[in-house]
Chains A and B, each alone.
Chain A
Amino acid sequence: NAGVMQNPRHLVRRRGQEARLRCSPMKGHSHVYWYRQLPEEGLKFMVYLQKENIIDESGMPKERFSAEFPKEGPSILRIQQVVRGDSAAYFCASSPIPGQGSNTGELFFGEGSRLTVL
């Protein structure tokens, strides 16, 4: 499967624990985006990364949330000291390098990681 891979698909954490969500972009894609979908709401942009560089994190909560996309391995969204309000579906998307001929403007989404905080 050459699509965007996210894991785990489902994650249950107790308040105060840490959640780590992983995303491997499509083959050939170098840019990763994280979105959050709260129940009965649309998708809210969180952060946009390329390898070893955060390009835009304007949608990230100021505390407890961080993201990285290392030179090797998947992108990781980390939530420390989770609270019940963090319960949501977290979607990762990827794209080719913006401005390249192969880039037609769309994002390719994974199937999401659903976090439940007890």
Chain B
Amino acid sequence: AQSVTQLGSHVSVSEGALVLLRCNYSSSVPPYLFWYVQYPNQGLQLLLKYTTGATLVKGINGFEAEFKKSETSFHLTKPSAHMSDAAEYFCAVTFSTGFQKLVFGTGTRLLVSP
């Protein structure tokens, strides 16, 4: 069975600082990995995804993530935080496109201070 662990329910950074949100997964087969962002009182929007191919994937709003099989990780990064990045971020895993019951982590709330 798949599972996702997001370390840190809250992460605080200053505007302009590096953003690092951690995600580790557990999967018995090659995973498909996703990062979604949720702004207050809104739905989830896909930031980026890894299915196959290049292990460094770039997403919207300057975010990127690297799939590291040896570390079972898919950490999300952004070189320079912006105030508009303040939101809840969810890592999710599934293992194929045959059945897409995405399993989500508990989320990390990103706080950005001026």
> A residues near B, CB below 8 A?
4, 31, 33, 35, 40-45, 48, 55-56, 91, 93, 95, 98-99, 103-112, 114
B22 to chain A, nearest CB (A): 15
Tell me whether A95 and B100 are in contact in the complex, defined as CB-CB below 8 angstroms, given that A104-B49, A106-B34 are known contacts: yes
When A and B form their complex, what is the total count of cross-chain residue pairs whose Cβ atoms lie within 8 Å? Answer: 66
Contact across chains for A109 and B101 when beta carbons are under 8 A apart: no
Give chain A nearest CB distance to B31 CB in angstroms. Answer: 10
3 interchain residue pairs of minimum CB distance:
A111-B43, A42-B106, A109-B44
Having A45-B102, A45-B103, A106-B34, one finds 7 other A-B pairs with CB under 8 Å, namely A43-B104, A48-B100, A95-B100, A103-B100, A106-B46, A109-B36, A111-B43
Cβ contact within 8 Å between A91 and B32? no
Interface of B is mostly: loop
Per-residue CB contact flags for chain B residues 85-102 toward chain A (1 = under 8 Å, else 0) read 000001000101111111
Q: B46, B49, B90: which contacts A42 (Cβ < 8 A)?
A: B90
Within 8 A of A (CB), among B70-114: 90, 94, 96-107
Contact of A105 among B9, B94, B105 (CB under 8 A): B94
30 residue pairs of the A-B complex, CB under 8 angstroms, read A31-B100, A33-B100, A33-B101, A41-B106, A42-B90, A42-B104, A42-B106, A43-B44, A43-B104, A44-B104, A45-B101, A45-B102, A45-B103, A55-B99, A56-B99, A56-B101, A98-B97, A99-B98, A103-B97, A104-B49, A105-B32, A105-B34, A105-B51, A106-B49, A107-B100, A107-B102, A108-B46, A110-B43, A111-B42, A112-B43
